Structure 1
Amino acid sequence: MKRRPFLKTTLAASALILSGLFPFSAHAADTIKVGILHSLSGTMAISETSLKDMALMTIDEINAKGGVLGKQLEPVVVDPASNWPLFAEKGRQLLTQDKVAVTFGCWTSVSRKSVLPVYEELNGLLFYPVQYEGEELSPNVFYTGAAPNQQAIPAVEYLMSEDGGSAKRFFLLGTDYVYPRTTNKILRAFLHSKGVADKDIEEVYTPFGHSDYQTIVANIKKFSAGGKTAVISTVNGDSNVPFYKELANQGIEATDVPVVAFSVGEEELRGIDTKPLVGQLAAWNYFESVENPVNQEFVQKWKAYAKAKNLPGADKAVTNDPMEATYVGINMWAQAVEKAGTTDVDKVRDAMAGQTFAAPSGYTLTMDKTNHHLHKPVMIGEIQDNGQFDVVWQTDGPIRAQPWSPYIEGNDKKPDYAVKSN
């Protein structure tokens, strides 16, 4: 047997693999790479770190059941560090260097809008798990959080109702970026349609990372002297902690001025003494406290995972709405890949239409057949002294998202199916 030519061939093949010129390696062929694009540092880490951890738990769970298409999922975690241009850079890295089949990520709309052109250019697939302002419908994104008609509008309707306190004046407080501004544009038009005048609507914005709410809370007190007032908060990230602390400092209670938050859940309340906040509200599509067998198992799994992985604050681990949306999104994507028989983005996109999943919210959620949004229930919860929420109002079942709000002029002419934004 002539060993030298065989040796040469083997060495040449090895060199090709090591140099990256060989079309695939065994490792790449044996796994499906999944991108996780969440801020693990900076102002949004308070909200996004748990979404990264939930994604990892869900991937572990799927892998333990045999993976997807007989392959294990391999998470690729990056940290865009609450830096919006860095989201686009990290997203491009995930698609072009790491070759991920799908990405789960973003919290703020400014981060999603930073990533969007990259994913449309390279035909990547992003699952976005957070409530947002709508006014977008990309073929490269599946939106597993709420559109305004699945959170903001029902919350304000509740505040105006007798059960919600019959509010007549509205203080709209938000972080200064696209989600709060667009949501408040929609809410202002909605309030006008209900006969609320501009003099009874106040709109205030603060930068990301803002920490001094003394003047703003004093202004809320002053504004509330003019009639029954509610605050609608679209404050995001770690600014929620000083805002709620200042409400307590100035003695504002839910019975005086109810605050309904769209970006505060169980995770954000972990760092706050919630006793002075009892009765304040949040609007979501899921709360940890909802009672059903699916949620009981979901919460138990998360607490066990947090403990096993020694996550920070594992002894007080909580679930929240965007964590549930992350869990649902990853499972739906896995189902769609199995249905398509491939991770090819175009085929998975088609297979996502009409996917269903029995969610921890207690409802079977459906991915809409055309508009890339989940049909979701709406829930309003009151903060309890243990940092959990008591659900005080909810829809009878899941409702279909309206990405293009009827309260923005011209939206009636927008298509109810995905179209590239560029």
Structure 2
Amino acid sequence: MSRALTARGIVPTLLTVWLSLAASTLHAAEGTIKVGILHSLSGTMAISESVLKDTVLMLIADQNKKGGLLGKKLEPVVVDPASDWDAFAEKARELLTREKVAIVFGCWTSISRKAVLPVFEQLNGLLFYPVQYEGEESSRNIFYLGAAPSQQAIPAVRYLMSKEGGGVRRWVLLGTDYIYPRTTNRILSAYLASEGVSEEDITTIYTPFGHSDWREIVARIKSLGADGKRTAVISTINGDANAHFYRELIAQQVSAKSIPVMALSVGERELLDIGGSGLTGHLAAWNYFQSVKSPENDVFVKMWADFNEQRDKTTNDPMEATFIGFRMWAQAVSQAGTTDVNAVRQAMYGQRVRAPSGFEVVMNTNHHLSKPAMIGKLQATGTFEVVWQSISPIKATVWSRYLPESAKRTADWTFPWVCGGCTEPTFKDW
């Protein structure tokens, strides 16, 4: 047999095999809906973010047991930006361009969210962001599942100022040195000023990510509360620095009776390894606590424990926010009949979920949820007892009325009135 004849026989055969494999791969890709998971699994933020990756995996597995979405299975695509803000943008681009994910659940810090925002806007992707933040941002490519300051920080300060909260008159605004604490504290300072609190009664302190030596700062806080004026700390410390801070509170015997700490970034999980016995009475403000009594929460906690084969039974607020966002996204995809970003975005408005908090929460056209505000008091067991909560869900105020440059701004992405941060609704043809 001649080489030419052999080649003529082999090439068509190889081409047929290649086409068959390509068709099979394409069919497999078309047979799944890819879900991106963009959370730090290493580095300083892993203590908070790793569990959110597992939360999304749990929700994907649960949805697949129900038949998936649109007759297709959901396929997770997990990446690790490793607490590196530049890596967040790189990984986001990878998820949207190479992996072709339909949705991304991810980020914790505002630095990471700010890093990926232009990527999602440029490529018209959708990010579901599950953590409380500083507000002052509105993007049609992000759905903000956590609290804005009007749903967490402001209610926390109001509670501490009240008789029930101890009548606090001196404030220490303590945070990690980045966007969220600085902007939140600027809003809180303006709010406190509007309530008649003088500048000399507001002390602001910032530390770097991963800060571990808190001796001098805790000693300074103790001295501020030593003259009898009721003093409290509003903490926006993020990541593993929290463990060092709370251990120093125990070491210097800073009790909740003398100087209560109200945490805006610490939940049940971050305190697991510290133990609650030396921190009893300190506070946290969230939209959900594991201790909430509701049938929906019983199901949520059991779902998490079963997913972990009973090795981990601890839930927290960002996990609940992820749960809410995932359920709403699944409902929106089913309603739209497609994973097309524009169609899903439009279908998200008005989506409702009976949340583990026990409240029915709704997604508004400002891309934020209406959520209840809650104050929890730390128990010796390491859990939080809810000591105050709003009567009903609070609609997020995206642009703070306490900042002059934001007071008249509007966030409303209703088509055709598309307005992320203008003072008057502006029509955009998109």
Q: State the distance in 2 between where 1:17 and 1:325 align.
A: 43
Q: Alignment identity in percent?
A: 59
Identify the match of residue 279 of structure 2 among 274, 277, 280: 277
Give SS of 2:394's match: coil
**Where in structure 2 are the equivalents of 1:126-145 lying within 5 Å?**
126-145=127-146
Identify the match of residue 15 of structure 2 among 12, 17, 34: 12
Q: 5+ residue gaps in structure 2?
A: 1-6, 414-418, 422-430
Aligned position for 2:356: 360
Aligned position for 2:120: 119
Q: State the distance in 2 between where 1:342 and 1:6 align.
A: 43
Relative contact order, higher structure (CA 8 A, sep 6+): 1
Task: Indicate whether 1:331 and 2:327 are aligned.
Answer: yes
Q: State the distance in 2 between where 1:216 and 1:66 align.
A: 53
Q: Compare CA radii of gyration and give the structure with the larger one.
A: 2
CA contact (8 A) 1:17 1:25 kept: no
CA shift at 1:5, angstroms? 9.8
Q: State the distance in 2 between where 1:412 and 1:420 align.
A: 14
Residues 309-363 of structure 1, C-alpha deviations (whole Å, 9 max, x = no match): xxxxx63430000000001111110100011110000000000000001110001
Aligned position for 2:206: 205
CA contact (8 A) 2:411 2:420 kept: no
Q: State the distance in 2 between where 1:378 and 1:285 align.
A: 5
Identify the match of residue 305 of structure 1 among 304, 307, 311: 307
One-letter amino acid matched to 2:114: K
Task: Indicate whether 1:315 and 2:311 are aligned.
Answer: yes
Give SS of 1:269's match: coil
CA contact (8 A) 1:217 1:246 kept: yes
Distance 1:125 1:304, change over 3 A: same
Give SS of 1:266's match: coil
CA shift at 1:413, angstroms? 3.0
CA shift at 1:7, angstroms? 8.8
Identify the match of residue 416 of structure 1 among 411, 414, 425: 411
Task: Indicate whether 1:387 and 2:388 are aligned.
Answer: no
Q: State the distance in 1 between where 2:407 and 2:223 align.
A: 38
Aligned position for 2:289: 287
Q: State the distance in 2 between where 1:111 and 1:201 align.
A: 28
Task: Indicate whether 1:374 and 2:382 are aligned.
Answer: no
CA shift at 1:89, angstroms? 0.2
CA contact (8 A) 1:39 1:81 kept: yes
CA contact (8 A) 2:243 2:274 kept: yes
Residues 355-400 of structure 1, C-alpha deviations (whole Å, 9 max, x = no match): 00111000111001x2000000000000011111000000001110
Q: State the distance in 1 between where 2:138 and 2:304 align.
A: 31
Output the TM-score relative to the length of structure 1: 0.94
Task: Indicate whether 1:103 and 2:104 are aligned.
Answer: yes
One-letter amino acid matched to 1:352: M
Output the TM-score relative to the length of structure 2: 0.92
Q: 5+ residue gaps in structure 1?
A: 308-313
Aligned length, in residue pairs: 409
Aligned position for 1:39: 40
Residues 274-308 of structure 1, C-alpha deviations (whole Å, 9 max, x = no match): 1011110000000000011110011011011112x
Distance 1:80 1:420, change over 3 A: farther
Q: State the distance in 2 between where 1:5 and 1:294 align.
A: 66
Q: State the distance in 2 between where 1:282 and 1:190 align.
A: 19
CA shift at 1:416, angstroms? 2.0
Residues 4-55 of structure 1, C-alpha deviations (whole Å, 9 max, x = no match): 999966743543576x7x7971110110000000000000000000100001
CA contact (8 A) 1:383 1:390 kept: yes
CA contact (8 A) 1:120 1:420 kept: no
Q: State the distance in 2 between where 1:178 and 1:402 align.
A: 18
CA contact (8 A) 2:269 2:315 kept: yes
Aligned position for 1:252: 254
